[in-house]
Structure formats: C-alpha cells, structure tokens
Amino acid sequence: MMLKNGQDKKIIVGIGSALVDVLVNADDDFLKKIGASKGGMELVDEYVINNTLSQISEKPHIVPGGSACNTVVGVGKLGGSARFVGKYGKDDLGAFFENDLKKNNVEPLLFTSDLPTGRVLSIITPDAQRSMFTYLGASSEIQPGDITLECFADTAIVHIEGYLLFNRDLIFAALKKAKDSGALISLDLASYTVVEESKELLEKIIFDYVDILIANEDEARVFTGYTDELKAIESLSENVDTAVLKVGKRGSYIHHSGETSRIQAIGTGQAVDTTGAGDLWASGFLFGIVNGYSVEKCGELGSACGYEVCQVIGANIPDEGWQRIRGLLK
C-alpha cells in the first residue's frame, strides 16, 4: 500500500482524548443496575464514575488509554515513529499518562488544563465485552486553535478517533490541518453509539477528508445499514481509498484499489478483555502502510496486535506478546 506523500515521511500522529483507563470486572446484572449500554460508550461527569466504582469491591486496574493514544503506543512498540496530540490535567494521572507515552517511544505533544485528567471506566463482563463511562475532563478543553501544522510535521498518517465527533469545531480543525500537511487521514469510528449520534456529520467528514476508514461490525451496521459483511465493506469503501471492516473472531475485510481482501483472524485463545482491540488492530495496520507492506500483510499485522491485546486486561500488550507480533515482520 503506497503513501501519497512518498516514503520519506514515517510518523503516525494520533489525535484524540488523553485519558486514563480504569478497568473493572462485573456481570451483566451489574450493567443493568447502573444503566450501562453493553458494548457502548456514554459521556458522564466525574461523579458517575466515582459512584459506580464505589459499588464495586475489587481494586480497579489503571492504565493509560484513549483510542488514538492506544493506537500510537502500539506503533511505538512496533518500532515505528509515533506522536500523540491531546490535553491533560496538571495532576498525578496526567504525569502518569505522559511518562507512559515516553516510555513507549511516543512523542508527547500535550497541552495542559486546570481540569483533572480525563478517565474511562471500562466495565468488563465475563464475555470479555467492555462497556464504558467516559469523563473527558481536561481532554475536552483542547481548542481548535491548539491544532497547528506543526502538530503534523513530517507526518505520513494522521489517525483520528471517532470520539472527536462530539467536538465538531475541534475535529474540523484537525482534519483541515492534517489535510494541509499532506498526510493521509485515518478515521476510526470508535463506537456504534458515536455513529448513531453523528451519522450526518460523519458522512460529510468521510467524503471531504478521510483516506482510511476503520469500523467494526456494529459501527458498520449503524453507518451503512447493512448486516451482510460484503455489502457493508463495499458501502464503507464508497468515498475512501481504503476501508476496513473488523469482524472479531472471523477476521477482517480490507477494501483497497477496487478490491476486497479477506484477512483471517490470528490466534485461537479465548479473549480475556476486548479493551483496545480495535485500537491495537489499527496500530499494526497503519504501521504496515507506512512501511509499504501489502494489504494482506497490513491486515495480518493488525490481526496479530488485536489478538494479543485481547489476551490481557487493558490495552497494554506485554513484552512477550510484542515479541510474537514482531516475528511477523521478519
């Protein structure tokens, strides 16, 4: 797969919410009790997260998160050049977030806010599905004026998380500056609840700006109206150079240059937690693109990253997992 700006630029920039993931286990009855939408994401205030946590006895697992952030951390772990653009609070969670980026070979381009660093309460049910309550906190205060061409200097691909659709002015500022920089623009639809609330805006953004569109089957169903996988990937591809449809254990479909490729899933282990699965899939896929891999190889690398992250709690693949993934690059 070829970059339109040549192979001299290698940086993948993620722009999105700087968030810390708070991960807990609970059953479906608990989801019903608190009114969570299974598999979805709901924006809430800090009180909702704290109140929900007070009803869970186990100690939560805390890791840096945010969709685009997870993706560029994966790129960094693969040995790629990565940068993250976002806003965080001047607090301990913010320092934790920034230090983790640096540790994982990601260049932080972070703005600060007086609000607390944002967080996501991710409730993991026994089927490994995650349902999220998100308090955006400081991440919601990033301003369109913060986004300059310098954010995307020497960038091959700008990866934008669909959650930015909740901030119309910001996502348009990011799209326009990314386009002006000459980079490819990748958009992950993020959550079917995001698509439901933003479909009209999405259609305009995809038509005008997006080169690479990434969706899972739930997001694709809401956006295209199709449950048939081949019809869905064909519809997703209508206004972009490259479209991806992820179908979980069944693998994925990639449409590029007028052709659809079926990519088989990698691994047979039972998923422990699907947090970050789509984000890390994008890590492998986008890394493959900037390194000139074939469509099939990009998809295979994405599948490997998505599989490995499902074998652990949270979006951080352990070193032994990354060693297995890097084996595909040899």
Instruction: Supply the CATH number for residue 277's domain.
Output: 3.40.1190.20
Tell whether 131 is covered by a domain. no
Q: What is the pLDDT along the chain (330 residues), one digit of tens a residue?
A: 555 544 578 999 999 999 998 999 999 999 999 999 888 888 999 999 999 999 998 899 888 888 999 999 999 999 999 999 999 999 999 999 999 999 999 999 999 999 999 999 999 999 988 899 999 999 999 999 999 999 999 999 999 999 899 889 999 999 999 999 999 999 999 889 889 999 999 999 999 999 999 999 999 999 999 999 999 999 999 999 999 999 988 999 999 999 999 999 888 788 888 888 999 999 999 999 999 999 999 999 999 999 999 998 878 899 999 999 998 887
Residue 6: the pLDDT is 46
In a domain, 149, yes or no: yes
Any domain includes 127: no
273: in domain: yes
Task: Please indicate, yes or no, if residue 45 is contained in any of the structural domains.
Answer: no
pLDDT at position 3 is 59
92 part of a folded domain: yes
In this predicted structure, what is the pLDDT of residue 324? 94
Domain limits at 91? 69-115+144-329
* Number of domains present in the structure of the chain: 1
The whole-number pLDDT of residue 141 equals 93
| Cα 324 from Cα 320, distance rounded (Å) | 6
244 domain-assigned: yes
pLDDT at position 330 is: 74
Confidence (pLDDT) at 129: 87
* 102 found inside a domain: yes
pLDDT of residue 55: 95
